[in-house]
Structure 1
């Protein structure tokens, strides 16, 4: 489980160090930086998928994602005595930094723009971001003595007794060290961290429109992990019935829709279909007939009751399309899932927030903006978790 998330110089986040728990609830008014924090977490996940540079390109390039405010915000700026101003040339090179701490291994990455190439070596990719530094260390707090794997530019080295063993000297600047696992001998922590990050799941693109994949019958195969767009919903629900927790599934349905039951039919040719039984109706409703809210709730049920829990599950505004009366049932389902894996919920639905905060394990983080900078409400310097960026 992650204990700390750190982000620096990313959009509205100039410097943020956030404590994490088993169940994390991120709230705040519109424009406070919830989406930027969510995007930073997704960007961090891309390091283990080999797509961090492409992900930045989709956001408009590294230069457009940098913190756009002044390098330092003084007390006089905060009090309004002086206007917000840059104060001359930057004293430090701009770097986008992302990192997290856990009980066993922790990780940080620093990205920057490349040095201007000489005229004879001009490239069409001269604006591609470069990975300047990557570090893996033991424990939560970074110290030189706890550093296990260190990547500086193209060179990767690993701790070997009291010294260092150079594992690679010509690593492409657009590849993370996680892309080099096969060639990095004697560094099991790289493989362990890569698989841990690859285990994160993000659900934020469930489609419920008339043409949504979840509304169509599909050929079913065992599906312990729901696809991020919900296309294999019937198979995922049937997998929970057969190898997961069918009692929790039926309880989740009756909790949200009293008197209703859910079955999955296997049609000729192996096509699976959702059958939703409501009291008073003479036939079940198919997925194509369900309301957007009902279908979305079933998708969330399939995601949260997965028989193969991830290392971390992230739900971005799961309340979308749901009637407020469904939110307490959704909160109970999220709390149940948080007993098996670390869960993030980004939300601005007051009823869902209130229900989640009833759980004593809920780590509620409320964001706000001060002079365009995302901050955690009520967090002082002494309240931040211990965090040091590798020098």
Structure 2
């Protein structure tokens, strides 16, 4: 399933924004305009589906930090709101999910600054009108049962847990399970650590790894899977040679642990180990594994992937983004004009310039409906 649109309201710098989502989505803008908040809004939708929305918001400072940061009217029920729309083109089904979270009422149970889930709804559309599959207001949950009727779910949700996670774990609602699996498959790469103890630089257990972990801790296993199980590294070899002036990847057959290194043209008989590589080199290898893994996730989101990269590495990175777009939706947040231009040239998608409008994050040239003027998809 593909993400077709997303909206967010009252979250940090996102006062109220809705946008249509393309196959490749490039976001560029100055510091402080809210590019990362758009990225983070999608992460929080995934957190809601996984059942850890409260934990994620608490980790970023609680509701007092997450709520819209600009001036607002006095509203009795001021809430963060997220909504996504996914389409299953093969079965012609549209899934819509929305969730709203607010502060704890003064006399209610719960911790003061953790989010309280106020409303959730999942609907599907296969014809002329949407059909509600699940709806939650407060602790009570209504769900469409096997007979096609809305019925009360016997378990009441805690104020800080999401109903969609609770129902999905129950295993009795196939539409909810299908939607959850699609969202759960998204991958977010918010930079990689590149210090001496970075997970990217460490050997890892030799276990077949079709996807890169979000912290990059299984990088060696992903590269070994591509080399020794898929036995096809043509595109990966091309990207590495282009980024590193003809260098090539060395991945020995793994034993208990998987490892890798690089061989440079000036030192053809020596393998440079991960601990010897520069920050930019090890970060590029992490991005290569994220974008070229054995099995591609439905959505790959990269937040400022250009960090630490030499400018010569940006065109090869754009090549990898274009390659990944054949099987995944790609979301890239960047400061780099060069990366945005290179990706546009290869993907045919115009970068979306993120700006501040009346203090809120907005996309230059975007209509209120979420469509972009003269955008090529």
Deviates more, 1:1-10 or 1:164-173: 164-173
Displacement of 1:36: 1.4
> Residue deviations 1:78-117, cap 9 Å, x none?
xxxxxxxx5xxx2452010011112221110011122221
Deviates more, 1:353-362 or 1:105-114: 353-362
Q: Is contact 1:22-1:361 (8 Å) kept? A: no
Equivalent in the alignment of 1:194: 180
Equivalent in the alignment of 2:83: 99
Q: Is contact 1:7-1:99 (8 Å) kept? A: yes
**In structure 2, do the counterparts of structure 1 residues 167 and 286 end up closer, same or farther at CA, with 3 Å as the change threshold?**
same
**Matched positions, count:** 362
Displacement of 1:123: 5.0
Displacement of 1:328: 0.5
TM-score (norm 2): 0.88
Displacement of 1:141: 11
- Specify every segment of 5 or more residues in structure 2 that has no aligned partner in the other structure, as ranges: 88-93, 373-377
Equivalent in the alignment of 1:27: 28
Task: Please give the alpha-carbon distance, in whole angstroms, between the structure 2 residues aligned to 1:31 and 1:105.
Answer: 32
Displacement of 1:185: 6.9
Equivalent in the alignment of 2:101: 111
SS of 1:309's partner is coil
Matched, 1:248 2:249: no
Task: Please give the alpha-carbon distance, in whole angstroms, between the structure 1 residues aligned to 2:28 and 2:126.
Answer: 25
Equivalent in the alignment of 1:372: 359
Q: How does 1:27-46 map to 2 (within 5 A)?
A: 27-46=28-47
Equivalent in the alignment of 1:78: none
Displacement of 1:318: 0.6
Equivalent in the alignment of 2:151: 165
Pick from 184, 194, 198 the counterpart of residue 212 of structure 1.
Answer: 198
**In structure 2, do the counterparts of structure 1 residues 110 and 318 end up closer, same or farther at CA, with 3 Å as the change threshold?**
same
Displacement of 1:381: 2.9
Equivalent in the alignment of 1:56: 57
Deviates more, 1:317-326 or 1:176-185: 176-185
**In structure 2, do the counterparts of structure 1 residues 302 and 24 end up closer, same or farther at CA, with 3 Å as the change threshold?**
same
Task: Please give the alpha-carbon distance, in whole angstroms, between the structure 1 residues aligned to 2:79 and 2:16.
Answer: 12
Displacement of 1:57: 1.0
**In structure 2, do the counterparts of structure 1 residues 140 and 111 end up closer, same or farther at CA, with 3 Å as the change threshold?**
farther
**In structure 2, do the counterparts of structure 1 residues 19 and 58 end up closer, same or farther at CA, with 3 Å as the change threshold?**
same
Displacement of 1:205: 3.9
Equivalent in the alignment of 2:368: 381
Equivalent in the alignment of 1:146: 131
SS of 1:226's partner is coil
Task: Please give the alpha-carbon distance, in whole angstroms, between the structure 1 residues aligned to 2:57 and 2:48.
Answer: 11
Q: Based on CA coordinates, which of the two structures has the bigger radius of gyration?
A: 1
**In structure 2, do the counterparts of structure 1 residues 91 and 290 end up closer, same or farther at CA, with 3 Å as the change threshold?**
closer
SS of 2:236's partner is helix
Displacement of 1:373: 0.8
- Specify every segment of 5 or more residues in structure 1 that has no aligned partner in the other structure, as ranges: 72-85, 386-391
Q: How does 1:287-326 map to 2 (within 5 A)?
A: 287-326=274-313
Q: Is contact 1:4-1:20 (8 Å) kept? A: yes
Deviates more, 1:337-346 or 1:221-230: 221-230
Pick from 199, 212, 218 the counterpart of residue 232 of structure 1.
Answer: 218
TM-score (norm 1): 0.85
SS of 1:60's partner is coil
**In structure 2, do the counterparts of structure 1 residues 66 and 218 end up closer, same or farther at CA, with 3 Å as the change threshold?**
closer
